[in-house]
Amino acid sequence: MIQSRFVLNSGDERERPDGPTSFALAEEAWLRASARLKRFSDPGIGQADRRLFRDPEGIVSVLSRLRRQQRLTQREVETLCRFGDLNRPPDKRVPNEWESAQLWHGALEKAAGAMRDKRAAARGMSTSGKDAGHG
């Protein structure tokens, strides 16, 4: 089984002196991107810090594209944003978060699939068997 990796492509060497941070799950990448977006939108952040912002392997742009293509629902996007701001996934064991957990996992699975497809297309590979080997 091939494990997908999502890489933090930030140029901020103060945070990452050893190079890009690799994530095993789209969820980790999204939570990091959410934290960076929150920090980036802070009016106290200087222009130099704003130039250093890049989201984990384009997960924000992938999610935006999926929403424009109507492959993500508004509720899925709202759930990602709400719990991204909390810097945690919804807990399916909490009764009022169960539905949010379903939306969260579905949205991130779609994002992971789109990112795998994007990498395969960039390498010139066929994506017709995209699920094979991507457990």
pLDDT of the residue at 90: 96
Whether this model's pTM surpasses 0.85: no
What 3-state class would DSSP assign to 83? helix
Q: Is 135 exposed, middle or buried, given 0-12, 13-18 or 19+ CB atoms closer than 10 A?
A: exposed
Measured distance CA(55)–CA(40) in Å, rounded: 11
How many CB atoms are closer than 10 A to CB 52?
A: 15
pLDDT single digits (tens) 98-115: 999 999 999 999 998 888
